[in-house]
Amino acid sequence: MTAPLRLGVNIDHVATIRNARGGDHPDPVRAAEIIAHVGGDGITAHLREDRRHIRDADIERIMAATSLPLNLEMAATEEMLAIALRHRPHAACIVPEKREERTTEGGLDAAGLHNQLAPMVTRLREANIRVSLFIEPDTRQIDAAIQLKAPVVEFHTGKYAHLLLDGDREGAEAELRRIADAAALAAKNGIESHAGHGLTFDNVQPIAAIPQIAELNIGHYLIGEAIFIGLEESVRKMRMLMDMAR
């Protein structure tokens, strides 16, 4: 069955530009309002340990200002758990986080971190926060998500995106099959599949065409493209490409 496909827009890099000058422009809240207006289905924001883009106050302001559900990306730390429990966003996506990385480079080792993640997933679920685990499209990680009773997994599409950029079509096709197989396995086990990282106008459609994937979370490219065509057009065009692929 093909589920409707939602678009969550990651607005971290609106905050990156704002923080470059230390003031309050451009405001991620204004971006969230525009995204709501043009048919985005959700707002995604990653509160990093170093607060390099989104900050604590942004989370509160985004939740107050828009009617769209907030998907809070967070590392598996006590600090982030406390913040999530305080704000109670619609969803929390647990991601691996390294201080020195430029972006989230790979999926969470949900299998290796079972004991650390189990109480965290339970507490988030008890607070009615929809938990997702940002993982590689890998059977072992899906098995771990099943053990952890995570209702959602988000597959890291960075490898697929990089293989295409490197001109490795065969490699990208193989990675795409891995993502499709993983989404089918997740669905068979009652887990909803999302996907994201490195998605662009050029590479989104094969991912959007995977019938079990219910949500894409896209940030850097959409905000970058907004510089040239505006945020409204950037989100509208992505939405249209996703719908066409479905």
Run of H or E residues at 82: helix 78-87
Q: Shortest Cβ distance from residue 221 to ligand PXP (Å)?
A: 6
Q: Shortest Cβ distance from residue 177 to ligand PXP (Å)?
A: 21
**Tokens 């068979």 -> residue:** 188
Told to judge if 197 belongs to the known catalytic residues of this protein, a careful annotator would answer: yes
Alpha-carbon radius of gyration of the chain? 17
119 prior amide bond cis, ω within 30: no
Residue from 5, 9, 10, 172 binding ligand PXP (CB under 6 A): 10
Q: Does 42 bind ligand PXP (CB under 6 A)?
A: no
Residue from 47, 74, 92, 93 binding ligand PXP (CB under 6 A): 93
Q: Does 239 bind ligand PXP (CB under 6 A)?
A: no
* Binding span for ligand PXP by CB under 6 A among 140-148, 171-179, 203-211, 218-226: 218-226
Told to judge if 25 belongs to the known catalytic residues of this protein, a careful annotator would answer: no
Q: With the CA atoms of 56, 61, 63 and 66 taken in that order, what torsion angle do they form, in degrees rounded to the nearest 10?
A: -150
Residue from 221, 238, 239, 242 binding ligand PXP (CB under 6 A): 221
160 or 221: CB nearest ligand PXP: 221
66 or 96: CB nearest ligand PXP: 96
The CA distance from 195 to 112, in Å, is 21
For the purposes of burial, counting CB atoms within 10 Å of the CB of 94, is it exposed (0-12), middle (13-18) or buried (19 or more)? buried
Cβ-count burial 116-152 (b if 16+ within 10 Å, e if not): ebeebbeebbebebbbbbbbbbbeebbebbbebebeb
Q: Does 95 bind ligand PXP (CB under 6 A)?
A: yes
Q: Shortest Cβ distance from residue 152 to ligand PXP (Å)?
A: 11
CB of 47 within 8 A of CB of 56?
yes
Q: Is 12 annotated as a binding residue?
A: yes
Q: Is 109 annotated as a binding residue?
A: no
Point out the residues that are catalytic: 46, 73, 197
- Site for ligand PXP, rule CB under 6 A: 10, 12, 46, 73, 93, 95, 103-104, 134, 154, 196-199, 217-221
